[in-house]
A and B are shown apart, each in its own frame.
Chain A
Amino acid sequence: MTGLVARGVTLVLGGRTVLHEAGVAVAPGEVVGVIGPNGAGKSTLLRALAGIQRPDKGEVMLEGRELAGMTPGDRARRLSFLPQEGEPTPPMRVEDLVALGRLPHRAARDGARDRAAVDRALAETGLLDLRDRPASQLSGGERARLRLARALAVEASFLLADEPVAALDPAHALAVMASFDRLGRAGVGVAVVLHDLTLAGRFCHRLVLMRDGRVVAQGTAAEILTDATMRAVYGVTVRRVGDAIVPWSLTGGCQADEQRVS
């Protein structure tokens, strides 16, 4: 198996089981969207896939090898992780921050290759003109692109991104999703946690739906984003606009509202 595969992953944090035998697979070139309500275990699943959180039960395999058995450096060169925004951006130059993405490769001491990777990441995220700017002076959207550029500079075979478009306007969100699409075409496996179901339906080859620490369904957008699953998992009604696949729109009220109305 060449992909990134989690099998029967169970994780207990502070006495609470936050992942129940979760299984998910990301093939090279595949963009997989991880969706589900807040607290469903999406971020925890991503951290387990990234090797940051070791499962209490089950296993994560990367290109046929168990993740837990790999050296941290080996793992870091194959898997790039983009966490939710939370840390304040250090006031370093944009280019220097993106270059930190090359840290897992530093042992190779290949300066030209590192510089080329940084340039590619800056170009992909449209930050070439801002490379000398202190990162603290960037806008929210530019910072999101910067964080993505850092993750891209790793040039790993798999990218795990946790809510990368959460705070972005539609144009920035589309640009980030288009980057994932290009990565997929280039053979990189991408797992991305999303709350925007329209973007998930439009850009992801496959969706993994989670609730209460369990993977409750996996499949294409048409298979997953049905009235029944939306109602069962999110407790909301969905109204589709346009054709059967894109775009989707979440406009209905929550079930409680509907009950009040009726």
Chain B
Amino acid sequence: MIDRRDYPLIAALAAGVLAMLVLSLVWGDSPVSLPAALRDLLAGRHSVGAIIVGQLRLPRAILGIAIGAALGLSGAVMQGYLRNPLADPGLLGVSGGAALGAVLVFYTGLAGVSALLLPAGGLAGALLAVLLLLGLVGQGGTLVLLLAGAALSSFAAALTAMAMNLMPSPYAAYEVMRWVMGSLTDRTMTDVWISLPGTIAGCLLMLTTARALDALALGDEVAESMGFRLRGLRGVQTRVVMGTAVAVGSCVAVSGAIGFVGLVVPHLLRPLTGYQPARLLLPSALGGALLLLLADAAVRLLSGATEIQIGVLTALIGAPVFFHRVIAMRRSQA
């Protein structure tokens, strides 16, 4: 999975992530000495610096890395599995299911009962969506998977819109709208603990498909003849779907929907990793983490009285990348 030729790229991306992590811990409205704050944090002293870093900046940075990595990796895995550079974790309907679950928590007023119920609703929505998806797809192939994902996405989007339409108070509708746009602001270590286990488990499951994705570049039949099971409970398709769903579902549950990271990051890194699906995985995870930390820094830099949601920003970065691709493709075909 890790090729010697990719060491410089991986090292550069990892250095970028590390630099942005330090920057996001140091940078903020209140000046804090990071070494002192970290010392206090580790020693359990409740200094101002330790509270700011430990309860505000660290969870935000950890979530930025974990969610960015999960989105980048799942994009690379989906694009490799479907052999389509435009595939994206959102295609499976899992993000839509998570959003619907969270919106229902707002709608029923449960969001006010406990802060835990919002991510729990998101997770439940994501899991329900993936179970429905796997049930719908059965032994079907990639086309059935795409169609089932599209059907689920549209249905979840329609139900989400209906819930917002019927929302009892405009304030709640506004809250939902902001949540759906995605954000890392004001997340706590509780959100980290809710999101991290599923994110890690999903990512590990996705990484088990690396060699199969390489084989699939040669077609389904060659992959099967090379000993990779595609369908069935332990097959590649189930691992791709479950891995993506568990990781992305766990992310969306705490951050809201953050689009374009899964689409753009693998797209940008593919030429640098020799167009080989397995080699793309780790760089995409690091690239996703870097992009989301950068986007979060931009959110903090650009936001005035009203904060720009991070999902809006990633879409604003992602769409021009695609405009550029369209123009480049048109030129190459002219």
Residues of A within 8 A of B (CB): 47, 50-52, 71-77, 79-81, 83, 86-87, 90-93, 96-97, 100, 103-104, 106, 134, 150, 154
CA gap between A76 and B224 in the complex, in Å: 9
B219 at the interface (CB under 8 A from A): yes
Residues of B within 8 A of A (CB): 211, 214-215, 217-219, 221-222, 224-229, 274-276
Chain B proximity of A13: nearest CB distance (Å): 13
Q: Name the A residues within 8 Å of B221 (CB-CB).
A: 47, 52, 81, 83
CA gap between A75 and B217 in the complex, in Å: 20
List the 3 closest A-B pairs by CB distance, nearest first. Answer: A72-B227, A76-B227, A81-B225
CA gap between A52 and B227 in the complex, in Å: 9
Q: Name the A residues within 8 Å of B217 (CB-CB).
A: 90, 92, 97, 100
Chain B: CB-nearest residue to A70:
B227
Chain B: CB-nearest residue to A162:
B221
Q: Once the chains bind, are B274 and A100 in contact (CB under 8 Å)?
A: no
Q: Once the chains bind, are B215 and A103 in contact (CB under 8 Å)?
A: yes
Instruction: Given the known inter-chain contacts A100-B214, A100-B217, please indicate yes or no for A90 contacting B275, CB distance below 8 A.
Output: yes
**Most chain B beta carbons < 10 A, residue from A81, A103, A150:** A103
Q: Name the A residues within 8 Å of B218 (CB-CB).
A: 87, 90, 97, 100, 150
Chain A proximity of B114: nearest CB distance (Å): 47
Q: Name the B residues within 8 Å of A79 (CB-CB).
A: 225
CA gap between A51 and B226 in the complex, in Å: 10
Chain A: CB-nearest residue to B3:
A96
Q: Contact check: which of A52, A74, A92, A97 meets B225 at CB < 8 Å?
A: A52
Q: Once the chains bind, are B222 and A83 in contact (CB under 8 Å)?
A: yes
For chain B, what secondary structure do more than half of its interface residues adopt (helix, strand, loop), or is it mixed?
loop
Q: Name the A residues within 8 Å of B211 (CB-CB).
A: 103, 106
Chain B proximity of A87: nearest CB distance (Å): 4
Q: Name the B residues within 8 Å of A92 (CB-CB).
A: 217, 274-276
CA gap between A97 and B104 in the complex, in Å: 48
Chain B proximity of A114: nearest CB distance (Å): 13
Q: Once the chains bind, are B219 and A103 in contact (CB under 8 Å)?
A: no
Q: Name the A residues within 8 Å of B227 (CB-CB).
A: 71-77, 104
CA gap between A84 and B220 in the complex, in Å: 12
Q: Name the A residues within 8 Å of B228 (CB-CB).
A: 72
Q: Name the A residues within 8 Å of B225 (CB-CB).
A: 50-52, 76, 79-81, 83
Q: Once the chains bind, are A104 and B226 in contact (CB under 8 Å)?
A: yes
**Most chain A beta carbons < 10 A, residue from B226, B228, B274:** B226
Chain B: CB-nearest residue to A86:
B219
Chain A proximity of B266: nearest CB distance (Å): 14
Q: List 29 A-B contacts (CB under 8 A).
A: A47-B221, A50-B225, A51-B225, A52-B221, A52-B225, A71-B227, A72-B227, A72-B228, A72-B229, A75-B227, A76-B226, A79-B225, A83-B221, A87-B218, A87-B219, A90-B217, A92-B276, A93-B274, A96-B274, A97-B218, A100-B214, A100-B217, A100-B218, A103-B211, A103-B215, A104-B227, A106-B211, A134-B275, A154-B226
Q: Name the B residues within 8 Å of A96 (CB-CB).
A: 274, 276
**Most chain A beta carbons < 10 A, residue from B214, B219, B225, B229:** B225
